[in-house]
């Protein structure tokens, strides 16, 4: 079977810390926070009144004359389009006259878009009033919903719409997929896109993730799971991965996209190369839907498979980008998994979680964190885990607390663990 090497030639992100690669990277290294009071809806009565929103976003700024063709794109699809445009231009493919677009595909880890919530509620209220005030009159609800919920708007909430929009924007006709495996989605998408190029089914892939769950349903669901931080008085320091006082993650939104290419093709066209996707591992806990297995077996297996796929050992890893959500269970069990697999080396490897600064981007988190690994390799510096002040005996590794660190990074490992028990790990290395 053909097995080609796959490299990253372009990166792009839309994040709570901004939209351009270098300014956002500088803010991450400076330890800036993108977390503040929620403004996209009135969250004043919710247990968590803050989030990590994407601010000052205008799709037309990124798409220019193409914006009108994507005017109906949902918020999360818009993020994906903008991040993909940044990555595409960064890669230089826009000026590649030899590019066969039937050999370029899309693999997105895209979550569902925020629904047309105001009109949905209006229809529900009408349905309630048609009955006795307690029970919903389904027929009346359907009548109002038909009037107020447009077909285009509702279609745009489907997770695959981002991938469809990207294919249209760049006129790429190769394999087109979307995976929605919660917090692991974009890491899994990039891993699977890499596999497609390795086996020769495409020459290049646009891959990454996007999500926007900062809406009443999203916040309600995570609050009911007691997964979100409720530090309403100090939102900017509320995300505290690995700290003993952590009380949950901060819901974020955004997109991260990369351009993956066959190494030989990238070299032939003189492309800038950020690094090689050297290894990929994917497993399932087969345990509880909302809990990681207490012995970290899924994470251990995913990291082990990625190391084997890359042909490296634990001694080769210079930096770990942790899933590091800031929930009690995730951070304790991810630490256990790293300690179990890496043994005595675990305490010598710098580990950090950028969720401490930009919140948890759910399906987009893994792609954004992979880009962080690539930039760490480029610049030999790793971002900090912010808001770390109280050590937890269950989390006893080197989390690069509160200040970026100069470290020679040749090979980095990035973890993503999703609700439902999906575990995905990528290993990237310097070229």
Q: Share the mean pLDDT of the chain.
A: 92
Q: Who contacts 102 (Cβ-Cβ below 8 Å, separation ≥6)?
A: 173, 174
Residue 249 contacts residue 229 (beta carbons within 8 Å): yes
pLDDT of residue 290: 76
CA 71 to chain CA mean position, Å: 24
Phi first, then psi: what are they for 132, rounded to 5°? -100, 15
Residue written as token pair 């930096």? 319
Average pLDDT over residues 76-92: 97
Interhelix angle 365-379/185-198, nearest 10 degrees: 70
Q: Who contacts 43 (Cβ-Cβ below 8 Å, separation ≥6)?
A: 37, 49, 50, 51, 219
pLDDT of residue 153: 58
Average pLDDT over residues 344-360: 98
pLDDT of residue 129: 61
Check pLDDT > 70 for residue 97.
yes
Residue 417 contacts residue 184 (beta carbons within 8 Å): yes
360 catalytic residue (yes or no):
yes
Nearest to 175, CA basis, from 197, 149, 157, 146: 197
70, 293, 323, 395: the catalytic one is 323
Give the bridge partners for 417, in sequence order: 423
183, 211, 215, 373: the catalytic one is 183
Residue 259 contacts residue 8 (beta carbons within 8 Å): yes
pLDDT category, 423, cuts 50, 70, 90?
very high
Residues 373-402 have pLDDT tens digits of 999 999 999 999 999 999 999 999 999 999
Please state which of the ranges 133-142, 199-208, 232-241 shows the lowest mean pLDDT.
Answer: 133-142
Nearest to 414, CA basis, from 375, 384, 371: 371
373 catalytic residue (yes or no):
no
Check pLDDT > 80 for residue 86.
yes
Q: What's the burial of 198, exposed, middle or buried (CB within 10 Å: 0-12/13-18/19+)?
A: buried
Residue written as token pair 């809406």? 215
pLDDT category, 404, cuts 50, 70, 90?
very high
Average pLDDT over residues 261-267: 97
pLDDT of residue 149: 60
Kindly list the distances between the CA atom of residue 67 and the CA atoms of 20, 54, 88, 169, 300, in Å, as whole numbers in the listed order: 19, 19, 16, 9, 43
165, 211, 360, 373: the catalytic one is 360
Please state which of the ranges 84-98, 169-183, 280-294, 417-431 shows the lowest mean pLDDT.
Answer: 280-294
Q: What is the pTM of this model?
A: 0.93
pLDDT of residue 158: 77
Residues 108-167 have pLDDT tens digits of 999 876 665 666 666 666 666 655 555 666 676 667 666 666 555 556 677 788 999 999
pLDDT of residue 420: 85
Q: Who contacts 426 (Cβ-Cβ below 8 Å, separation ≥6)?
A: 187, 190, 191, 277, 279, 280, 306, 366, 370, 373, 413, 414
Select the more confidently predicted residue: 284 or 150.
284
CA 429/CA 431 separation, integer angstroms = 6
pLDDT of residue 154: 56
Q: Catalogue the long-range contacts made by 120-125 (C-beta closer than 8 Å, 24 or more residues apart).
A: 120/145, 120/149, 122/148, 123/148, 123/149
pLDDT of residue 78: 94
19 catalytic residue (yes or no):
no
Residues above pLDDT 70, as percent of the chain: 90
∠ CA 321-392-220, nearest 5°, is 70
The domains located in the chain, with CATH, are 6-114+157-429 (3.40.47.10), 117-155 (no CATH)
Select the more confidently predicted residue: 230 or 129.
230
pLDDT of residue 315: 98
Q: What's the burial of 429, exposed, middle or buried (CB within 10 Å: 0-12/13-18/19+)?
A: buried
């Amino acid at each position: 079977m053909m097995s080609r090497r796959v490299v990253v030639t372009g990166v792009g992100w839309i994040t709570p810390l901004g939209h351009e690669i270098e300014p956002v990277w500088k803010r991450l290294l400076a330890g800036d926070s993108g977390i503040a009071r929620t403004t996209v809806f009135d969250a004043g009565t919710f247990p968590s009144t803050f989030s990590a929103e994407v601010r000052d976003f205008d799709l037309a700024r990124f798409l220019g004359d193409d914006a009108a063709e994507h005017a109906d794109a949902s918020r999360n699809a818009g993020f994906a389009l903008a991040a993909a445009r940044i990555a595409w231009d960064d890669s230089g493919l826009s000026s590649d006259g030899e590019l066969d677009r039937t050999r370029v595909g899309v693999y997105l880890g895209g979550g569902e878009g925020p629904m047309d919530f105001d009109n949905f509620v209006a229809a529900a209220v009408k349905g309630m009033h048609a009955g006795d005030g307690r029970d919903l009159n389904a027929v009346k609800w359907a009548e109002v919903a038909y009037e107020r919920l447009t077909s285009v708007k509702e279609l745009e909430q489907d997770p695959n719409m981002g991938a469809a929009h990207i294919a249209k924007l760049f006129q790429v006709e190769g394999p087109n997929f979307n995976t929605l495996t919660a917090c692991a989605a974009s890491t899994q998408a990039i891993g699977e896109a890499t596999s497609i190029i390795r086996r020769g089914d495409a020459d290049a892939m646009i891959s990454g993730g996007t999500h926007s769950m900062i809406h009443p349903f999203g916040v309600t669901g995570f609050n009911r799971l007691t997964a979100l931080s409720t530090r309403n008085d100090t939102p900017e320091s509320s995300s505290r991965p690995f700290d003993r006082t952590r009380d949950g993650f901060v819901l974020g939104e955004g997109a991260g996209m990369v351009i993956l290419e066959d190494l030989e093709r990238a070299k032939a066209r003189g492309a800038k190369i950020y690094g090689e996707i050297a290894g990929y591992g994917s497993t399932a806990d087969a345990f509880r839907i909302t809990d990681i297995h207490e012995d970290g077996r899924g994470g251990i297996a995913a990291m082990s498979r990625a190391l084997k796929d890359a042909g490296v050992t634990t001694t080769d890893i210079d930096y770990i980008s942790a899933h590091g959500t800031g929930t009690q269970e995730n951070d304790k069990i991810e630490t256990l998994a790293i300690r179990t697999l890496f043994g005595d080396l675990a305490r010598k490897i710098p580990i950090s979680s950028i969720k401490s600064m930009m919140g948890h981007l759910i399906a987009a988190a893994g792609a954004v964190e992979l880009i962080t690994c690539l930039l760490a390799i480029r610049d030999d510096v790793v971002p900090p885990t912010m808001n770390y002040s109280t050590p937890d005996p269950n989390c006893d590794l080197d989390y690069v607390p509160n200040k970026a660190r100069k470290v020679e990074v040749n090979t980095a490992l990035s973890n993503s663990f999703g609700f439902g028990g999906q575990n995905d790990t990528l290993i990237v290395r310097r070229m």
